[in-house]
Amino acid sequence: MLVNLATLTPTMQGALRGLVAEITEHDGISPINESASLGIDGLRDADFFFMGRRSDPHGFVVCDERESTLQVGVHPQHRRRGYATELLTEALRSYPAFSAWAFGTLPGAPELARRVGLVPTRELLRMERDLPVPGDDAATGYEIGPFMTADREQVVAVNAAAFAHHPEQGRLTVEEFDQLAAQDWFDPDGLFVAHAADGEVAGFHWTKRHGGGLGEVYVLAVAPAHEGKGLGRALLSRGLRHLAAVGDARVQLYVEAAEQRVVRLYRNAGFEIAQTDTAYRA
């Protein structure tokens, strides 16, 4: 039985999170991203399709209205029965312009996309490297220090300018920043802000810790007016030194495959591609 719901009860939130956890354990990768997770929590606009009982679903699609994405998952014991095809087909009827993400681009993803009439349109790379790293975190003309609450609106403005052409990241609002800062993982000491000589925020490096010795370059942004001055490398180095100092042994980041200049920057910093996520659209 397929059910469409716009609001989840606490019981259904728990059931969906349990299913996501089982899929993640089996596949070695989560079927949803952070934005969809916030949708499950009711912090972002999302719609949901379920297969199975509401208290014990065996398949789902999260329709993330903020990022215009569809994220599908089916319990390993219920696969190869057409459930993913049925779920995605139904979701596409309601959201035909949304992209369907395949995190890790697992073997069945391309065939599922073909069955529902989707083609690959975008790739996101997860890159990783070991910590610690050598590096100089000084940048002439800038002062890099920990985040202060007074920086928040300028940080959001720099993010918007740096990611003006990015379909999701550039849309971050002050309200969404506050929602992320309220998450358990947020640590203001892991958000580094670069100020120019005039006091304006010129860039920032927001780090994230996942536990188990894994850290993340969550967001690294430099205002366009301050590009080409070594600030990005300095911010990257500062954040990586912090992650190593607090006990992380490895660090990851996500970058658009099409952004070859940025990919080269991270390769030069010792990062290697560990995973490719693929977005499919009609």
Two tokens, residue 116? 């529902």
Non-local (6+) Cβ contacts of 125 within 8 A are 254, 255, 256, 257, 263, 273, 275, 276, 277
Same fold, 2-117 and 128-281: yes
**Model pLDDT, residue 1:** 83
Q: Which residues pair with 60 in a beta bridge?
A: 50, 73
**Model pLDDT, residue 162:** 97
Per-residue pLDDT 10s for the chain (282 aa) are: 899 999 999 999 999 999 999 999 999 999 999 999 999 999 999 999 999 988 899 999 999 999 999 999 999 999 999 999 999 999 999 999 999 999 999 999 999 999 999 999 999 999 999 999 987 788 999 999 999 999 999 999 999 999 998 888 989 999 999 999 999 999 999 999 999 999 999 999 999 999 999 999 999 999 999 999 999 999 999 999 999 999 999 999 999 999 999 999 999 999 999 999 999 999
**Model pLDDT, residue 84:** 98
Two tokens, residue 187? 């640590």
Residue 179's Cβ-count burial label (10 Å; 0-12, 13-18, 19+) is middle
pTM beyond 0.85, yes or no: yes
Residue 194's Cβ-count burial label (10 Å; 0-12, 13-18, 19+) is buried
Extents of the domains making up the chain: 2-117, 128-281
- Placement of tokens 């967001």 in the chain: 219
Please tell me the class of the 2-117 domain.
alpha beta
Distance between CA atoms of residues 151 and 147, nearest Å: 7
Task: With H, G, I as helix, E, B as strand and everything else as coil, classify residue 202.
Answer: strand
**Model pLDDT, residue 131:** 98
- Distance set, CA 25 to CA 28, 76, 123 (Å): 5, 10, 23
Cα-Cα-Cα-Cα torsion 270, 164, 209, 226, nearest 10 degrees, comes to: 60
Task: With H, G, I as helix, E, B as strand and everything else as coil, classify residue 281.
Answer: strand
Non-local (6+) Cβ contacts of 18 within 8 A are none
CATH fourth-level superfamily of 128-281: Gcn5-related N-acetyltransferase (GNAT) (3.40.630.30)
136-194-173 Cα angle (round to 5): 135
